[in-house]
């Protein structure tokens, strides 16, 4: 083993022409957008460059941020955004300008807490009415709506923070990356550990690998205990439908996915992250945190092949308990296998003295000269006796200013590159995760992946790359 960025210009640069431009009441998002662009063209504006205009603002200018999905993870994101270390607060650089959530009770509770005046249950209405006054949006809705909301926001020139996973299909993820790149927007993916203020172990591991502490990395094993499948059969395999809760907008919650009757199970935790119509299971929810680190540490490019070993496919939810293998090609041409295990699965045939399988989560780098095991709160080198007197390399990675602050400072400076985990960066590894999930759904064990052509050698898997979307929920085009 060891040898081998709202059309923001209206707020910033109001002119006599622009004050006559109105957002039309929506019949559909695409129609509204088309009318808006036509009106703007009449006003003498053929192109829009929101980031350039934002850059003309004073560094201390206020940034108006809208949040879509203010409960659950969104609640945590809001707390982080207005935290003492984020650099974003009403007295200094920003204001929580508008909140949107399909649950009116959650919406009002959070808006009352943060004294947010503008409240919406439909993000499309929020964009129609307030896009001229917004600078950026934070998206923490359910996974199946990330892609459409993010692309709509970026099409309006809004800087975008999107929770992970970016989307549930490869096509959506690729479109998100295209919008971010071509619109030159400041984006951040909610893989917080990538720029975590407490991420010392992660960054230290980069330094150890770069210093050659374990030699040439030959294989990587990742495991993460957990499962999003409800334990009770009636919760994971609900029958019939239940009444839609009062104050809940189920139509907007469904968004672009094909209609299905409402059942309370769709909203329950953790099942809502297992059902195929709303999410892609545990690897999609937790995988980005660890898989991102491997891609960063080893400067990986998209895998050439993907293999999946797991339980029989289920038509309603992802049963998890997966073993996924992505085979990449290193710079020197050698193959590199990266493995993922979830639930209670662990790698087989790894010497017990070289790993700690009792850790609930781990990334294990197998090198020609040793082993590095790491996660959020620990790292160690093995064999223990070999590294007993090892002198670790000097610290080269400065402490991170934090995920939210990176995003805010990037927007203020109009420098998208300041965001470590921007959408363009996170897209390829998220695509690789989604492909593995698609394979499991299709019952396909192995595929060859051509990232440039965005296709595999399996027609069954290719059918999932761009799924069918609900009529009237159209994605914007570049």
Q: Which residues contact 385 (CB under 8 A, 6 or more apart)?
A: none
With tokens 């609640």, the residue in question is 75
Lowest mean pLDDT across 88-102, 207-221, 383-397: 88-102
Share of the chain above pLDDT 70, in %: 85
pLDDT value at position 95? 87
Q: Sorting pLDDT into bands at 50, 70 and 90, what band is 62? A: confident
Give the Cα separation of 397 and 200 in Å (integer). Answer: 9
Under the banding of pLDDT at 50, 70 and 90, the label for residue 5 is very low
- pLDDT the model gives residue 90: 60
C-alpha span between 299 and 330 (Å, rounded): 9
156 near 131, Cβ under 8 Å? yes
Residue with tokens 């990538």: 194
Please give the sequence-ordered ranges of beta strands (E in DSSP) within 27-174, or none if there are none: 63-68, 94-100, 118-120, 136-139, 159-162
The predicted pLDDT at position 265 comes to 97
pLDDT in tens, 84-124: 666 666 655 678 999 999 999 999 999 999 999 999 999 99
The DSSP bridge pattern shows strands 323-329 and 335-342 to be: antiparallel
Smallest CA-to-CA distance from 422 within 176, 229, 201, 250 is with 176
Report whether pLDDT(261) > 70: yes
pLDDT the model gives residue 175: 98
Residue tagged 């090198």 (tokens): 367
- pLDDT of 383 over the 70 cut: yes
For the ranges 28-42, 98-112, 141-155, 325-339, the lowest mean pLDDT is seen at 28-42
d(CA 165, CA 173): 9
Position 323 scores a pLDDT of 97
Range scoring the smallest mean pLDDT among 142-146, 205-209, 330-334, 372-376: 330-334
Q: Which domains does the chain have, with CATH numbers?
A: 9-194 (3.40.50.720), 199-229+280-398 (3.30.360.10), 233-269 (no CATH)
Cα separation, 224 vs 285, in Å, equals 11
Q: Take residue 288 and report the two structure tokens written for it.
A: 């980005």
Question: Could you tell me the pTM of the whole model?
Answer: 0.87
How many CB atoms neighbour CB 356 within 10 A?
A: 13
**Is residue 49's pLDDT more than 80?**
no
How distant is the alpha carbon of residue 47 from its chain centre?
A: 29
In sequence order, the 6+-apart residues with CB closer than 8 A to the CB of 271 are 228, 229, 230, 235, 236, 265, 317
Least confident of 34-43, 245-254, 409-418, 456-465: 34-43
* Beta carbons of 137 and 68 less than 8 angstroms apart: yes
Average pLDDT estimate for 173-192: 97
pLDDT of residue 352: 87
Asked if 283 contacts 340 with a C-beta cutoff of 8 angstroms, the reply is yes
If we measure between CA atoms, which residue out of 172, 199, 150 comes closest to residue 376?
Answer: 199
Res 45 pLDDT > 90:
no
Whether residue 270 has a cis bond before it, omega within 30° of 0 = yes
Span 398-425, mean pLDDT?
A: 93
pLDDT at 228 exceeding the cut of 60: yes
Cβ burial 382-415 (10 Å sphere, 16+ → b, else e) = beeeebeeeeeeeeeeeebbbbbbbbbbbbbebe
Quote the pLDDT of residue 91. 55
Q: Which of 404, 452, 417 is nearest to 191 (CA)?
A: 404
């Amino acid at each position: 083993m060891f040898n081998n960025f709202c059309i923001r210009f209206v707020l910033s640069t109001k002119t006599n022409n622009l004050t006559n431009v109105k957002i039309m009441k929506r019949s559909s998002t695409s129609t509204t957008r088309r009318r808006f662009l036509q009106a703007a063209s009449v006003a003498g504006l053929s192109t829009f460059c929101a980031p350039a205009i934002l850059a003309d603002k004073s560094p201390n200018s206020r940034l108006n941020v809208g949040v879509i999905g203010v409960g659950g993870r969104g609640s945590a994101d809001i707390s982080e955004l207005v935290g003492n270390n984020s650099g974003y607060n009403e007295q200094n650089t920003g204001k929580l300008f508008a909140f949107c959530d399909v649950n009116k009770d959650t919406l009002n509770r959070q808006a009352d807490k943060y004294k947010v005046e503008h409240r919406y249950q439909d993000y499309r209405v929020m964009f129609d009415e307030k896009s001229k006054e917004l600078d950026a949006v934070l998206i923490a809705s359910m996974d199946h709506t990330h892609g459409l909301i993010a692309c709509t926001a970026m099409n309006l020139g809004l800087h975008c923070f999107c929770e992970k996973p970016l989307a549930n299909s490869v096509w959506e993820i690729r479109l998100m990356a295209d919008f971010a790149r071509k619109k030159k927007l400041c984006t951040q993916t909610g893989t917080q550990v990538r720029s975590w203020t407490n991420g010392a172990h992660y960054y230290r591991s980069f330094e150890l690998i770069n210093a050659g502490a374990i030699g040439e990395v030959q294989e990587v094993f990742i495991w993460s205990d957990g499962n999003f499948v409800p334990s009770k059969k009636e919760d994971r395999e609900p029958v019939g439908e239940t009444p839609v809760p009062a104050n809940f907008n189920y139509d907007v919650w469904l968004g672009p996915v094909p209609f299905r009757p409402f059942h309370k199970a769709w909203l329950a935790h953790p099942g809502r992250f297992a059902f195929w119509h709303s999410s892609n299971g545990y690897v999609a929810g937790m995988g980005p945190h660890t898989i991102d680190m491997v891609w960063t540490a080893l400067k990986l490019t998209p895998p050439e092949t993907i293999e999946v070993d797991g339980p029989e496919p289920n038509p309603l939810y992802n049963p998890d308990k997966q073993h996924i293998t992505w085979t990449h090609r290193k710079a020197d041409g050698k193959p590199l296998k990266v493995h993922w295990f979830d639930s209670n699965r662990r790698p087989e045939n790894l010497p017990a003295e070289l790993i700690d399988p009792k850790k609930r989560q781990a990334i294990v780098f197998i090198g020609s000269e040793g082993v590095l095991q790491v996660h959020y709160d620990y790292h160690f080198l093995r064999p223990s006796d070999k590294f007993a007197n090892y002198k670790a390399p000097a610290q080269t990675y400065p402490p991170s200013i934090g995920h939210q602050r990176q995003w805010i400072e990037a927007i203020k400076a109009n420098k998208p590159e300041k965001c470590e985990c921007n959408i363009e960066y996170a897209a390829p590894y998220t695509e690789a995760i989604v492909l593995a999930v698609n394979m499991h759904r299709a019952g396909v064990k192995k595929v060859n992946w051509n990232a440039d052509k965005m296709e595999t050698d399996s027609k069954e898997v290719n059918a999932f790359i761009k799924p069918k979307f609900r009529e009237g929920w159209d994605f914007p085009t570049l």
